[in-house]
């Protein structure tokens, strides 16, 4: 489904397994790759659902997404804490992780773009509905200068929106 599984297999094939420090570094890298792969597959599913207009179903993924995000942040923190050791013991692994992380960020950007678009569309719909409601509640009068009168506060009706789908 994504390119991380294939690259993870190639990363495992590169193992020389010659030093304990190298094994620890590889374990940290594998943990990060696992966290990125799991989070990415969930984000891809969320993106598909939002694009298909199935926002309610996409919202059910929120709890799992938070859990996977915590795992990802934890793996990144562990890797950052051991970055000096990793740079010494396996610099090629570190550069591979940087490349995969860049691809991961690009895929996250696609997801954020889809979510922002869905948010903008829904906000536009709500504003349009509100404008129509306000038009019906405003008296159709003109000022002495011949311009349309602005509605006073007593003519504006608030719009209530339920956030639960």
Residue 69: domain span: 21-137
* Predicted local confidence at residue 18, as pLDDT: 43
Can you tell me the distance from the alpha carbon of 18 to that of 46, in angstroms, rounded to the nearest whole number?
Answer: 41
* Predicted local confidence at residue 4, as pLDDT: 52
Q: Check if the beta carbon of residue 108 is closer than 8 Å to that of residue 58.
A: no
> What are φ and ψ of residue 142, in 5° steps?
-125, 155
* Predicted local confidence at residue 80, as pLDDT: 87
In a domain, 67, yes or no: yes
In a domain, 9, yes or no: no
In a domain, 159, yes or no: no
In a domain, 150, yes or no: no
Can you tell me the distance from the alpha carbon of 125 to that of 42, in angstroms, rounded to the nearest whole number?
Answer: 28
Taking 50 as the pLDDT cut, the residues of the chain under it are: 6, 8-20
In a domain, 12, yes or no: no
Q: Check if the beta carbon of residue 75 is closer than 8 Å to that of residue 28.
A: yes
In a domain, 85, yes or no: yes
Count CB neighbours of 72 within 10 A. 19
Chain-centroid distance, C-alpha 88: 33
Domain count, the chain: 1
In a domain, 87, yes or no: yes
In a domain, 148, yes or no: no
């Amino acid at each position: 489904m994504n390119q991380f599984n294939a690259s993870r297999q190639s990363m495992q094939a590169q193992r020389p397994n010659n030093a304990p420090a190298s094994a620890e570094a590889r374990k940290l890298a594998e943990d990060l790759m696992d966290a990125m792969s799991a989070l990415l597959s969930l984000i891809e599913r969320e993106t598909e659902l939002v694009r298909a207009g199935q926002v309610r179903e996409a919202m059910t993924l929120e709890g799992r997404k938070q859990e996977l995000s915590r795992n990802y942040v934890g793996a990144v923190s562990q890797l950052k804490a051991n970055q000096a050791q990793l740079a010494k013991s396996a610099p090629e692994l570190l550069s591979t992780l940087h490349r995969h992380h860049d691809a991961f960020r690009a895929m996250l950007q696609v997801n954020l773009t889809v979510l922002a678009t869905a948010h903008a569309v829904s906000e536009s719909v709500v504003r349009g509905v509100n404008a129509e409601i306000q038009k019906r509640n405003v008296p159709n009068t003109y000022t002495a200068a011949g311009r349309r009168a602005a509605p006073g506060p007593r003519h504006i009706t608030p719009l209530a929106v339920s956030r639960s789908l």
